[in-house]
Amino acid sequence: MTKATKPASVAMQSANSAEEQSGKPEPIKPTKGQPAGIKKTSLIQRIITGFVFVTVVLICIFAGGMYGLLPMLLVIFAVLGVREFCRIINPDVSKSLIVIGSVLAASMPVLTFYASAHEGNLILGDGIMRGVIPLFYVLIFGLVAYMVWVALTPESKLRDASVSFFAALYLGIPLSSLMLIRGMGDGVEAVGMLLTMTLVVSIWATDSFAYLGGSLFGRNKIAPTISPKKSWEGLTAGTLGAILIWYLAPLIFTGSASLFTAIIMGLVVSIVSLIGDLFQSRIKREAGVKDSGTLLPGHGGILDRIDSLLLTAPVVFLILLTAGTNLGLLG
């Protein structure tokens, strides 16, 4: 006598029942064309949020000081960034210290903009000084403000005041650097706009290429204890992305480009971006949090989106200040 075989529907029900009892669903094998290293839902969400974010930022960079769009955007970044940073370090930090840090950070790019407005060429003489001097006033005022706060507030903690002051510098100085880059050029505003856009887009290209390259090919980790997803393969892909942007941008808008300059700037942007990213990852890992916030779906908080920019902008500003003309970036 042969054993009766179970119908396909019964067999499927039995399998589903066993799966429910075990509580462990069968792993879904990646379909053809869908790499196992990339989560489709996460990637789509990341792309949508990134597209909106990029559009807003590029519009503000294009407008520059028109209607105060770029300074206003940088103020928003400064205020939200200081708040996120302070709460990562200490969730119970005084709101007053967050306000003081936010005001200091926000005032830096705003004062830099108004002090250097209509200078035409920030590289030479009074132009750069007009843009930088306000930072010293802010630093002195900020130092006095924190000292007064600590001295007159019994419940205040020096550690929290130090974190707030560092957060103000961490956000304020880089955002001021971005404002100064936007004002560069020998009387030609398009130069500053092109440099700022190229810088920002190259950082995003580095991040996107590194994400895709690391997800698809990442095997050798750069700093597994700090950021397990960062790989040398991803860094290589990110560097290629940055070089591509620094080569294509001037080629498209000016009709000429230097491969040497593109390689130099691409390497600088990708490496410095990585350091800025790892710094933020180190802080979050020590605090036991995954993201700096939840404002941007698929990305986290503002700091998660601009952490690379916060170190790259000052470094690129210094390069442009000292060697911009030799590299062919300032004419």
Q: For 89-123, how does the pLDDT look when each residue is reduced to its tens digit (9 = 90+)?
A: 999 889 999 999 999 999 999 988 887 665 444 44
- Assign 140 to helix, strand or coil: helix
Of the ranges 21-30, 115-124, 220-229, which is most confident?
220-229
CA distance 111 to 116: 8
Higher-confidence residue of 326 and 154: namely 154
What is the C-alpha R_g of the chain?
24
Question: What are the E-state strand segments in the chain?
Answer: 221-223, 227-231
CA distance 139 to 104: 8
**Percentage above 90 pLDDT, the chain:** 46
Can you give the pLDDT at residue 70? 92
Which whole number is the average pLDDT over 262-269? 96
Sorted by where each begins, the domain ranges of the chain are 39-288+298-323
Can you give the pLDDT at residue 321? 85
**Over 90: is that where the pLDDT of 32 sits?**
no
Can you give the pLDDT at residue 3? 47
Question: Which DSSP letter does residue 154 get?
Answer: T
Which whole number is the average pLDDT over 320-329? 80
- 293's enclosing H/E stretch is none
- Assign 6 to helix, strand or coil: coil
Other C-beta atoms lying within 10 Å of the C-beta of residue 28: 7
Can you give the pLDDT at residue 136? 85
**Over 50: is that where the pLDDT of 19 sits?**
no
Residues whose CB is less than 8 angstroms from the CB of residue 247 and which lie 6 or more positions away in sequence, other chains included: 257, 259, 262, 266
Residue-wise over 298-317: b if at least 16 C-beta within 10 A, else e?
Answer: ebbbbbbbbbbbbbbbbbbb
pLDDT tens-digit series, residues 173-200:
999 999 989 888 655 568 889 999 999 9
- 207's enclosing H/E stretch is helix 189-217
- Look up the pTM and report it: 0.82
Mean pLDDT of the chain: 82
- Are the beta carbons of 247 and 257 closer than 8 angstroms? yes
Can you give the pLDDT at residue 330? 66
pLDDT band at 40, cuts 50/70/90? Answer: low
Which whole number is the average pLDDT over 72-80? 96
